[in-house]
Amino acid sequence: MSTIYDRPTGSPEHGTRSGDQPLADTLGRPLHDLRISVTDRCNFRCTYCMPKEIFGPDFAFLPKDQVLTFEEIERAARVFVELGVEKLRITGGEPLVRRDLAVLIEMLAALRRPDGEPLDLTLTTNGSALRRLAGPLRDAGLQRVTVSLDSLDDATFAAMNGVDYPVAKVLDGIAAAVEAGLAPIKINMVVRRGINETSVVPMARWARDAGHIVRFIEYMDVGTTNGWRLDDVVPATEVVAAIDAVMPLEPLPPRYRGEVATRWRYRDGSGEVGLIASVSAPFCGDCTRARISAEGKLYTCLFSADGHDLRAVLRSGASDADLRDTIAGIWRVRDDRYSELRTAATGDLPRIEMFAMGG
Count CB neighbours of 229 within 10 A.
12
CA torsion angle for 104, 109, 113, 119 (degrees, to 10)? 110
Residue 66 phi, psi (nearest 5) = -95, -5
Report if residue 13 sits inside a domain.
no
State residue 57's pLDDT score: 84
The amino acid at residue 98 is R
Cis peptide before 184 (omega within 30 of 0): yes
The amino acid at residue 339 is S
Tally of domains within the chain: 1
State residue 228's pLDDT score: 57
Report if residue 221 sits inside a domain.
yes
How far apart CA 240 and CA 273 sit, in angstroms, is 9
Report if residue 6 sits inside a domain.
no
Contact indicator for 82, 23 with CB cutoff of 8 Å: no
State residue 91's pLDDT score: 96
Owning domain of residue 265 = 25-357
How far apart CA 185 and CA 71 sit, in angstroms, is 28
- Residues of the chain scoring pLDDT < 50: 1-19, 344-345
Task: Quote the distance between the C-alpha of residue 95 and its chain's center.
Answer: 12
Nearest Cα to 340, choosing from 262, 286, 291, 290? 286
State residue 347's pLDDT score: 53
Q: How confident is the model over 257-270, as pLDDT tens digits? A: 767 889 999 999 99
Instruction: Write the DSSP string, 279-344.
Output: TTS--GGG--EEEE-TTSEEESSTT-S--EEHHHHHTTT--HHHHHHHHHHHHHT----HHHH--G
Report if residue 4 sits inside a domain.
no
**In the structure, how many helices (H) and strands (E) does the chain have?**
11, 12
State residue 1's pLDDT score: 28
State residue 97's pLDDT score: 96
State residue 353's pLDDT score: 62
What CATH number does the domain containing 263 carry? 3.20.20.70
State residue 5's pLDDT score: 26
Cα-Cα end-to-end distance for the chain: 34
State residue 342's pLDDT score: 59
Report if residue 124 sits inside a domain.
yes
